[in-house]
Structure 1
Amino acid sequence: MNSTPPGRVIKTVFPRSLVRLGWRYVVSHAWQSFLMVLGIALGVAVMVSIDLANASASRAFSLSAEAVTGKATHQIVSVSGKMDETVYTNLRLSGKVELAAPVVTALVSSEVLGGAPLQLLGIDPFADSPFRGYLGSGNELDTESLTPFLTRTGAVLLSAELAARSGLVPGNSFTLDFEGRTREVFLAGTLSAADALTRRSLNGLVLADIATAQDLTEKTGQLDRIDLILPEDDPGAATALQADLPAGVRLEAVEARQGSIEQMTAAFQLNLTALSMLALVVGLFLIYNTMTFSVVRRRGLFGTLRSLGVTRSEVFTLVISEALLVGVVGSLLGVGLGILLGRNTVNMVSQTINDLYFTTTVRAVGLPFSSLVKGGVIGVLATLATAVPPAVEAALVEPRAAQLRSGLEKKTRLITGLMGLAGLILAGSGVLLFQIPAKNNIPGLAGTVMVVIGFAMLSAVAMRGLLTAVTPLTGRLFGSLGRMAPRNLVNTLSRTAVAVAALMVAVAVTIGVTLMIDSFRFTVNVWLEQTLQSDVYISAPSFTANTSTISIDPRVVDQVAAWPGLARADRLRSTAIESPDGPVNLSATTNPDVGKERLFKAGSRAPDEIMQALREGSVLLSEPLANRLNLSVGDSISLYTPEGERNFPVAAIFYDYASSQGSLLIWMEQYRQIWGDTAVTSIGLRLPPGSDPDQVVRDLQSGLQTDQQLIIRPNKSLRQDVMEVFDRTFAITAALRILATIVAFIGVLSTLLLLQLEKQREIGVLKALGLTGKQLWQLVMLETGLMGLTAGILAVPTGVALSLILIYVINLRSFGWTLQFDMRLGAFAMGLLIAVSAALLAGVVPAWRLSRMEAAEAIRYE
């Protein structure tokens, strides 16, 4: 029996000589390999950090929800937000449900506990154990703590970790802030969980007996909900129970309710992920560019190898192996950088979710291992996929043709037109994808990538045309060198076109995102100027930045109504109303000019007609809500009321940028008649001409008699606060834009360095013919500057197209609002500056090296 030596096996599969050849190339071009690794590492790092932030935010929401809902399968809730506790009493007496527990919840905070939002959970200890088990043996709560918890007024429980961090021990008293009021509580004991996840949940929880919670939140005799555990093997149990419930209360599945809340942030997180992928895409352009350049540069070597018997598959494997090495090292480095970046992005994403969507009480959730693996795998696979075209090009090299540089350039010129046509087709196909209706934005994001790549494929044709057109001008300005530089670039399209395309895409992304942010800011400013017409605003403190649902002390409402020197006081009630489509943000107003002071979509009625319809029972929908529910003027929206489901005619649709979930506007009198809610959440004061809003604010702050902390601010201050939230929201977008620009800068630096150093023999001939060092500097700077200028010019239409897609496709589908396009020259100037600066900087090192090289040494280069 014959045996094959191990060395022979390796040689048969992939010759060791080729391994040494590939490794020698990587080592001899160490700085080039380093830049490639750095480019892919930054791309992967951005993607990993965003994925960590999204996963952390989602897990924080899940833990916050689980801390409150426990093992409940269903909940009984009131459509008005207030449920009499007799509903629970009657439910238990009926015997129709075996496992039920009353719950009172509220968001509170305490300076002693760090000032962050905490979930106050009021429970019945004797009914709650099947649901949450916080008072069970696993949490180590002793009898000494349980007794005061059940018998002492204001007694609460905290996690042992939170209490220790805050310097509290059982027996201490401290204060809780609830809706602007301060309440004193007593720490009866602490809870210690057996596992890490439960400990994190407990760290955001203040546990109280239900009577204590009712007293702290002024909900005496009322419940927020009733938790139920219904048998899974009896699907008819929920239907039967709903039929027996009194009017004004509903039965909801916990999973469906939490799912509707999580969907609020789905579009936001998807768009963050897509934006983070742009940095990776730019890094992949760098890989493709560099790998293509290395293949073009080694065509002669590959031709020689093919002449010596090396197969196409071996050449292909050689190039792919080089890319694999770069991908693995870059991805590993990127995962590590992503963890470091993730610490900041987690905070930024969590802050945005708390500002715009909902408040989570769990903050530290650890690093999801799946995010790290996913980032590393995507980085490696994307690198390999990007290296396939140049690897195929290397494998298809014919031995004789490989030695002819002119043949390569002739082939490049021939396929340039075909590439441009393919780019048009690809971009057109991307536009067609925008027409596909979809619940998520994946077709839109895929179409965006296709359009950008399509523009990149057009860049070679456009580059040849631009450089040919500019040659007479550069000739007049710089003489023979001015004619030589653009012609050199056109004659070496196999090298220069990919580099210009890569730089163009990176700069276009910067321009597109900048225009989108500027347009958003411009739109929000116009919206604020039109919507915020009152001179002074009064509201209660809130954990969310967009809309407060916290009620103002009724005594304050009465005092303001009688306050001297006011032209008018408009009251607003903001709350969440249940509907067949999930929770709907509702605002009830007394503003008689709302028909004039809102910006309405085309097709809406005249302002006077809108106000008349509003007073008669119709409602106004914000654009995001109308788009989410696919409603138009003349349609009806269904809401749950205390008397049952009711349809409300839609009188008009207005532009609104406070919430991507949208809102509904109703006349205050109609709202109070239907829901019986007399609360007020904000007051807008109109002052007579010549009044000083700041003085009115000071007078109100000192003159209002209340124990509730209030936020009283003039119009200007409110606008500033809104724009601060806007800036926080786009802080992570701006950071991603900067990182993508850094990746692009590294890419063009690497490429242009290679391109100039590869022309060493040509430069040697020119020096032998009398080219001076100064002229050499001029030639190199002209070539690199022209490449940067070309990339910058081509990036302008690409960036504009990208911004239009982001505004009218991505934002509209993701968030439901229409932005006004605002084209500022600053974005174009910044893009051109980045492109030209990067290109010129990249030319400094090769110009310096080539100017110091002797002509004979340069000619011997090849």
Structure 2
Amino acid sequence: MALLLAMAANIGVSTMVSSFRLTFTGFLDQRLASELYVSTESPEEARALEQFVAPLVTEVLPLLSVEAELAGLPAELYGARIGATYRDNWVFLDEAPEVWDQIANGSAVLVNEQLARRARIWVGDSLTIAPELSLPIVGVFGDYGNPIGQAIISEPLFAKLHPNVGATRFGLRTDTPVALRTALSDEFGMPAQSITDQSQIKAFSLAVFERTFTVTAALNVLTLSVAGFAIFMSLLTLAGMRLPQLAPAWALGLTRRRLGQLELIRAVVLAVLTAVLALPLGLVLAWVLLAIVNVEAFGWRLPMYVFPGDYAVLGLFALVAAILAAAWPARRLARTPPADLLKVFANER
């Protein structure tokens, strides 16, 4: 039972963390598509920057946002310049036909999963984004790690609703990020701290996540160690209690060494059966964590992936733990003095 619970917990938690890792990596590739991100000090500098980089980049993506109340909930409203970056990189949890065309012409809105679930709205429903302006929802996107809701409309519609809000941060798409960074520093005079590489943001984000992944791996080792210790103490206690059951087998001709081997084999077989039973239990636990607990706690649901290789390694570790736990009790049994075995028959008539 100790090994079953430990393995099921390990499978469930490691599946959740690994699924989150794959999803989060894909999410970063989607949301951090621009090769460089730059910040300006004023709207005037922002306009000058757009003019300067126009011949040097394939796309300029202004980062426009305001705090808003959407569906009665605190949220952020974004204005997007719809182009190849959005059309080629974004993946939706659910979407209507020609989603980007509808967003580009200002006739629809996108919402993240958090807002959709908390407000109980989905594709086909309407969302009020300004007084007397409601737009149909044409797409719901995953937004992992964000605690609040988000909605995205086109840049022209955003400018119409919030004419006093101008972009001072931009994402720049380019095939030559090093050359562009040099031009921004040397020719445009932009400070180095105002320019951020995509790779730096991704590396920092993944480094934070990897710490969580490392802690999970350490907890897996700890739980297996505790389970192995529980098995060891149980078998050590049972070794003396099983002498009356094993003595007749010894009297019939089985050697003490063979009895010890059989006890070790029995522990290994039980460990294998436990691993087989723990796998579906662990997968059910992972599904509950991803589809129910995560939604209630954070407002988004993570897709579930399976990792057969990891489960095989975990099963091997569990087998090793069982062998190590059973080795000493089996050795003690193999070296049990014959006199102790004969005492079992002392009261036989």
What TM-score bracket applies, with the shorter chain setting the length?
0.7 to 0.9
Aligned partner letter, 1:591: I
Written as runs of structure 1 = structure 2, the 5 A alignment for 1:795-810 is 795-810=278-293
Q: What is aligned with 2:171? A: 684
8 A contact 2:16–2:289 mirrored in 1: yes
Matched, 1:514 2:14: yes
Aligned partner letter, 2:15: L
8 A contact 2:103–2:154 mirrored in 1: no
Distance 1:591 1:741, change over 3 A: farther
Question: In the aligned structure 1, how far is the partner of 2:214 from the partner of 2:76?
Answer: 26
Q: What is aligned with 2:58? A: 567
SS at 2:63's partner residue? strand
Question: In the aligned structure 2, how far is the partner of 1:749 from the partner of 1:557?
Answer: 71
Q: What is aligned with 1:538? A: 38
Q: What is aligned with 1:360? A: none
Q: What is aligned with 1:588? A: 79
Q: What is aligned with 2:184? A: 700
8 A contact 1:701–1:712 mirrored in 2: no
Distance 1:621 1:859, change over 3 A: farther
Q: What is aligned with 2:155? A: 668
Q: What is aligned with 2:89? A: 597
Please give the TM-score of this superposition, normalised by the length of structure 2: 0.84
Distance 1:792 1:532, change over 3 A: same
- Report the alpha carbon displacement of residue 505 of structure 1 after superposing the two structures with TM: 2.1
Match 2:326 to one of 837, 843, 857: 843
Match 1:746 to one of 229, 232, 235: 229
- Report the alpha carbon displacement of residue 753 of structure 1 after superposing the two structures with TM: 2.6
Question: In the aligned structure 2, how far is the partner of 1:726 from the partner of 1:577?
Answer: 29
Aligned partner letter, 2:161: I
Matched, 1:813 2:296: yes
Q: What is aligned with 1:528? A: 28
- Report the alpha carbon displacement of residue 703 of structure 1 after superposing the two structures with TM: 4.4
Question: In the aligned structure 1, how far is the partner of 2:72 from the partner of 2:213?
Answer: 29
Q: What is aligned with 1:756? A: 239
Work out the number of aligned pairs and report it. 342
Cα deviation digits, residues 208-227 of structure 1 (max 9, x gap) = xxxxxxxxxxxxxxxxxxxx
SS at 2:209's partner residue? helix
Q: What is aligned with 1:793? A: 276
Written as runs of structure 1 = structure 2, the 5 A alignment for 1:368-387 is none
- Report the alpha carbon displacement of residue 565 of structure 1 after superposing the two structures with TM: 2.1
Question: In the aligned structure 2, how far is the partner of 1:648 from the partner of 1:595?
Answer: 20
8 A contact 1:556–1:704 mirrored in 2: no
Question: In the aligned structure 2, how far is the partner of 1:694 from the partner of 1:858?
Answer: 80
Match 2:138 to one of 614, 634, 651: 651
Cα deviation digits, residues 801-838 of structure 1 (max 9, x gap) = 22222222222333333333221112311331232122
Question: In the aligned structure 2, how far is the partner of 1:839 from the partner of 1:635?
Answer: 55
- Report the alpha carbon displacement of residue 573 of structure 1 after superposing the two structures with TM: 1.8
Unaligned runs of 5+ in 2: none
- Report the alpha carbon displacement of residue 782 of structure 1 after superposing the two structures with TM: 0.2
Q: What is aligned with 1:623? A: 113
Cα deviation digits, residues 564-623 of structure 1 (max 9, x gap) = 421221111234223462320222221324244321233x2233x433344325321012
Question: In the aligned structure 2, how far is the partner of 1:734 from the partner of 1:625?
Answer: 33
Percent identity between the two aligned chains: 29
- Report the alpha carbon displacement of residue 559 of structure 1 after superposing the two structures with TM: 2.1
Q: What is aligned with 1:228? A: none
Written as runs of structure 1 = structure 2, the 5 A alignment for 1:117-128 is none
Matched, 1:633 2:123: yes
Written as runs of structure 1 = structure 2, the 5 A alignment for 1:324-339 is none
SS at 2:92's partner residue? coil
SS at 2:122's partner residue? coil
Aligned partner letter, 2:28: L
Alpha-carbon RMSD across the aligned residues, in angstroms, is 2.9
Question: In the aligned structure 1, how far is the partner of 2:271 from the partner of 2:117?
Answer: 42
Cα deviation digits, residues 390-411 of structure 1 (max 9, x gap) = xxxxxxxxxxxxxxxxxxxxxx
Matched, 1:606 2:115: no
8 A contact 2:109–2:135 mirrored in 1: yes
Question: In the aligned structure 2, how far is the partner of 1:861 from the partner of 1:591?
Answer: 85
SS at 1:860's partner residue? helix
- Report the alpha carbon displacement of residue 523 of structure 1 after superposing the two structures with TM: 1.9
Which deviates further from its counterpart, 667-676 or 739-748?
Answer: 739-748
Written as runs of structure 1 = structure 2, the 5 A alignment for 1:199-278 is none
Aligned partner letter, 1:805: V
Aligned partner letter, 1:697: R
Question: In the aligned structure 2, how far is the partner of 1:538 from the partner of 1:741?
Answer: 48
Distance 1:701 1:750, change over 3 A: farther
SS at 1:753's partner residue? helix
Distance 1:746 1:699, change over 3 A: farther
Aligned partner letter, 2:119: L
Written as runs of structure 1 = structure 2, the 5 A alignment for 1:481-496 is none
- Report the alpha carbon displacement of residue 627 of structure 1 after superposing the two structures with TM: 0.8
Question: In the aligned structure 2, how far is the partner of 1:518 from the partner of 1:502?
Answer: 24
- Report the alpha carbon displacement of residue 772 of structure 1 after superposing the two structures with TM: 3.4
8 A contact 1:788–1:837 mirrored in 2: no
Written as runs of structure 1 = structure 2, the 5 A alignment for 1:774-789 is 774-789=257-272
Relative contact order (C-alpha < 8 Å, sep 6+): which is higher? Answer: 2
Moved over 6 A (4+): none
Aligned partner letter, 1:526: G
Question: In the aligned structure 1, how far is the partner of 2:325 from the partner of 2:344?
Answer: 21
- Report the alpha carbon displacement of residue 624 of structure 1 after superposing the two structures with TM: 1.9
Q: What is aligned with 1:299? A: none
Question: In the aligned structure 1, how far is the partner of 2:181 from the partner of 2:297?
Answer: 39
Distance 1:849 1:699, change over 3 A: farther
SS at 1:696's partner residue? helix
SS at 1:533's partner residue? coil
8 A contact 1:587–1:663 mirrored in 2: yes
8 A contact 2:290–2:301 mirrored in 1: yes
8 A contact 1:614–1:651 mirrored in 2: no
SS at 1:586's partner residue? strand
- Report the alpha carbon displacement of residue 727 of structure 1 after superposing the two structures with TM: 2.9
Q: Which has the larger radius of gyration?
A: 1
Question: In the aligned structure 2, how far is the partner of 1:858 from the partner of 1:537?
Answer: 78
Cα deviation digits, residues 286-333 of structure 1 (max 9, x gap) = xxxxxxxxxxxxxxxxxxxxxxxxxxxxxxxxxxxxxxxxxxxxxxxx
SS at 1:638's partner residue? strand
Distance 1:730 1:558, change over 3 A: farther
Aligned partner letter, 2:93: K
- Report the alpha carbon displacement of residue 799 of structure 1 after superposing the two structures with TM: 1.4
Cα deviation digits, residues 642-686 of structure 1 (max 9, x gap) = xx5753432321223241433211222222221234333542212
- Report the alpha carbon displacement of residue 794 of structure 1 after superposing the two structures with TM: 1.0
